[in-house]
Structure 1
Amino acid sequence: MTQSNITRRGMLGAVAAGASVLAMPTVLRAQSSEYIIGASLPLTGPFATAGKLIAPAFSLYQAMINAEGGINGVNIKIVTEDSGYVATNALANYQRLLASEGKNVVAYYGDSTGFMKLVGPELKGDQARMMTSTSFATELANPETHPYQFMSGPTYADQFDILLQDIAAKGGKSVAFIHSNNEFGTDPLEHGKKRAAELGIDVVLVEATKTQGADIPTHVTKLAQANPDYCILQGYVTGVWPQLIGGARQFGLATKFMGTFWGMEKLIADRVTAEAGPFLDGYQGVMPYRYSYDQEDAPRLQQIAEMSKTMFAGTPLENYMPTWGLQAFASLELLTIALKRNADAGLEMSNADNIAAALATVKDVNLGGYYGKNVSIENNKVGIGRVYQYSAESRLFTPTSDWLTV
């Protein structure tokens, strides 16, 4: 399964309908009455599928918040540029936006762990803005070293922790870690080994693969030789993780597979099921959020669903918001709370110290249903998640655990 296969005509339609901001000039000249939130997304490159599914969430969120009065009467504008999943490109985007718009820029949404680490030393003085991103990198959850960066979910190490707790609770005795050969893939491995040992679970294989074009038969053979009860997949977005599961099923392995956030997208699982059969049935993984169809007592998810019917009519996003878009929504909601509290206090809106201080006051907040309980920001993160399982028959991910706090 290649990325081009996933991005079918309908999905291209969704991107075109939902990401009109991308057709605007690279850098927009904002009026003084607007707050700009900049963003870099991988609209090309190895993770373009994810970037093109996040972009519509930006346009919907902008419309939703501005319809509600913006930030204390001031509209927001989300300005998005392509990074190609190259950290230096994202950094150049950020620097160019600051040079053009200055203090109108109040925050930034990054595309990767690489960018968030690269930009860290640049966040000083007038160049500092509050940042969130697609990343759940473990090292970012440290206010002392990364005071202006936060995430709307648990770190990758936390996600391994949740999965390993679940494995132990289900009687699992052995586990394999298969991961992409990049920083994204290797992030939680050492913590995972330590936590598995604490829980009495043997780590029988740690195997690295290419991000794309992995040698599936070789990796599956090694997995078969180790024959673990469970296998956790980390560091993938589209093609490799389903291929590994499919290869294992063809080999006759009974190993149960689990994934972290980026391997939990329903559109990908549905596409694989439609093209290759139900071998993902029973696949499990950790999610910080509810899925967009889980709308009971979730007014924000209900509102998103209603707006999507109009904004994305005739596309797959008409009736479903991808998990990757929900991450963006939750991050922007938390950022908006901080911006509003900052505005209420009459403080400089572009000052990253002010926004960081306001974020630190986000405690026990009901965010409208993105999560299954009230949330707080602690150590630059929202440390909550639960395990979901995919059904090839219903084409839904449903929870198999309670909400766990880490």
Structure 2
Amino acid sequence: MANDAVAGNALRVAPAQPEATDDPVRGVLAAFTKDLIKGVDETLAAFLAAEVDSLTEIDAAMGGFAATARDCVLAGGKRVRPTFAYWGWRGVVGGDEPLPSVLPALAALELLHTFALVHDDVMDASDTRRGLPTAHRAAAARHRAAGHAGDPDRYGEAVAVLIGDLCMVWADRLLAHATVPPTRLLDVRRCYDQMRVETVAGQFLDVLGENDAANWSVDRALRVARYKTASYTVQRPLLFGACLAGADAESPLIAAYTRYGLAVGEAFQLRDDLLGVYGDPDTTGKPAGDDLRTGKPTALLMLARQLATPAQRRALDRAGTVTATREVARLAEVVRDTGAVARVERMISDRVGEALAALDTASIDGTARSALTGLATAATTRRA
């Protein structure tokens, strides 16, 4: 079983000195969660090794497919969702509860995240993820190299959809390995299911927005942020962790986590909006200006349209039609000149303030409070 890989390690995660790094998220995660991330990665590696072996018995090609799915899961990432879930749990149980009992549940969130990323890359026709070819592009390249019949791109998309589906099933299977009371696991499952439903809802609104940009608005863009990102990145993982700890659903702590999670999650997405236009590709692992190339109706672009002069609005109407790097850079300048970037930065700051105020409304383990305070800032000032 996956949790056997770490059952001998009663991990006690405590603050340390932040590692020297240019990425604030990595610095805070290193300070508060080094042992946690190690435990999550070991749990995932042990679980996936057994799953790949099992699927290889069906057919050698199936083993290769499963290994590709495994590599998507283990190919880096900050482990943000398990981290927020961990502190949601630790904020309830305090510092003495051993971690291995809930590690499979925390690690399952990373499998759910991979499901969402792989499918999102197909829907967005993205070429790269974390500096590497996306799953569908890599599968298409293998199809071409092998000289197979049929459309390589169509094949690649089909394989990526199946990789995402498999990761969703794996997440369910790994979650069941958590050693918590069965009645509590039912509550955890309800929270987990709600997180998945809200993720799908947010993803649908994201797709709809790209195809109905003329009827989009700042409010609808923020609704996408709330359900596509805030729910499954911060808010629901926090509540998921609290459920693992057996927290009372009506407690002030749950209300505080809900407020904090929504505020930080929206700020997280707003930072993504800025990085999607102004991020350094060497840091983000994705080309700069992709959102302008596709005309994605993010809160940033909707605000730019709202604040623009007539001349600026005419320039912004070209979003979704430009491809040349120079044209994209010019559009990015127009967006900045409207004042939208400064407005989004204020929105991020306001939400971080709201999140920190929420933490003051409930009794939370002191170390967890410190970690969540640091993560609220780090997750919203990151460069990737």
Instruction: Give the TM-score band, short-chain normalised.
Output: under 0.3
Higher strand share: 1
Calculate the TM-score normalised by the size of structure 1. 0.25
TM-score when normalising by structure 2: 0.26
Greater RCO, 1 or 2 (C-alpha within 8 Å, sep 6+): 2
More helix by share: 2
